[in-house]
Amino acid sequence: MKNSSLLIGTLLIIDSMHYVFARMLVPHLPPSTSAFFVLLIGTIEVGIYGIATKQLSFTTFQKNVWFFLGIGLLVAVSTDLNYAAVGYIDPGTASLLGKTGQIWSLGLGLFWLQEKLTRPQFLGATLAIGGVFVISYQVGEYNRVGTFMVLAATFLYALHTGMTKKFGEDMNFVNFFFFRLLVTSFFLFLITTITGTITWPSPTAWGYLLLVGTVDVTISRSIYYLSLRRLNLSTHTLVLTLSPVVAILWTIVIFDIYPTTQQLIGGFIVIFGLLIVGKYRESKNNNGESNNFAQPPHISQ
């Protein structure tokens, strides 16, 4: 019980930090450059682990090159949008909007796999979408631009998730994760080069990059998959759905940014809707039915 509580607490904190980390890097580097170096650091760390454990095999990449190019591009653009979005909206609001990836995955399952939408799913999705409109319908173009960026990023990430579930589920995790990171880093490098935003980090920026790359990529994924194995599905879903609440607290403590009443109302509507969706997904899985678009936490690394 003690170990489970520690794992739940760690998962909640780690999952809540993604947009907070992105905002911390804003004063030091352009968003695309930050995303590139964060992913590059994660790639190197996972690669070292793969070599040390003798799990890394380039044959996996050679046999699935188009798959990795596809998901690498999706995650690269998603990550770039997320890092740019926190220049327009606060990390707490971005975290709330980021959880709508579950709604995108429902839509992909509906149109791609011809799954049926039940009443609980429809109700939860409608509430969550309504909450997004409440959050985004505010005076000022900056908020709407940031909202659009996060929603577009979550769609791309959900699409990557669907492709992974359909074509890459049986791969060795270390090989899958390393080559996904490697190709994502490559595309982020292309984005920074084409846009002319590539910048060599200062010593201070390197410190932040090492922290974010290690915690938000390497440790984050390890904690996620460890918790997925040890926690029941309902607890896992609940923790990930509630992580924006912690992200809002981080935003207040670190950046002294307080959410508006409208953002809070919209945020709680989103969370309530996603909890309904999560409860349905749990009951569906427990009944032995497939869920090809089961959504992992939206961490675009």
Judged against a pLDDT cut of 90, whether residue 257 lies above it is answered with no
Whole-model pTM?
0.81
Distance of CA 184 to the CA centre of its chain: 14
DSSP 294: P
Q: Which of 224, 241, 246 is nearest to 282 (CA)?
A: 241
Q: Which of 86, 196, 104, 235 is nearest to 146 (CA)?
A: 86
Question: Which of 1-5, 14-18, 156-160, 162-166 has the lowest average pLDDT?
Answer: 1-5
Q: What is the pLDDT of residue 181?
A: 94
Q: What is the pLDDT of residue 140?
A: 56
Q: What is the pLDDT of residue 49?
A: 94
Lookup result for tokens 């964060």: 38
Mean pLDDT of 123-141: 68
Q: What is the pLDDT of residue 63?
A: 93
Alpha helices in the chain (DSSP H): 2-16, 18-25, 31-52, 58-63, 65-85, 91-98, 101-112, 119-136, 141-167, 173-195, 203-213, 220-230, 233-255, 261-286
Judged against a pLDDT cut of 50, whether residue 296 lies above it is answered with no
Q: What is the pLDDT of residue 41?
A: 97
Judged against a pLDDT cut of 60, whether residue 301 lies above it is answered with no
DSSP 218: I
Q: What is the pLDDT of residues 54-112, one digit of tens each?
A: 999 999 999 999 999 999 999 999 999 999 999 888 898 888 888 777 676 666 666 66
| CA angle 161–164–166, rounded 5-degree value | 110
The more confident residue out of 34 and 9 is: 34
Q: What is the pLDDT of residue 282?
A: 52
Mean pLDDT of 138-151: 73
Q: For residue 2, what are the contacts with CB-CB under 8 A and spacing of at least 6? A: none
The more confident residue out of 244 and 125 is: 244
Q: For residue 214, what are the contacts with CB-CB under 8 A and spacing of at least 6? A: 41, 42, 45
Lookup result for tokens 């749990």: 282
Q: Give the whole-number percent of the chain exceeding pLDDT 70.
A: 76
Q: How many CB atoms lie within 10 A of CB 270?
A: 25
The more confident residue out of 222 and 70 is: 70
Judged against a pLDDT cut of 70, whether residue 28 lies above it is answered with yes
Mean pLDDT of 23-30: 95
The whole-angstrom separation of Cα 202 and Cα 211 is 14
Burial per residue of 236-259, b for 16 or more beta-carbon CB atoms within 10 angstroms, e otherwise = bbbbbbbbbbbbbebbeeebeeeb
Judged against a pLDDT cut of 90, whether residue 242 lies above it is answered with no
Q: Which of 147, 157, 151, 102 is nearest to 272 (CA)?
A: 102
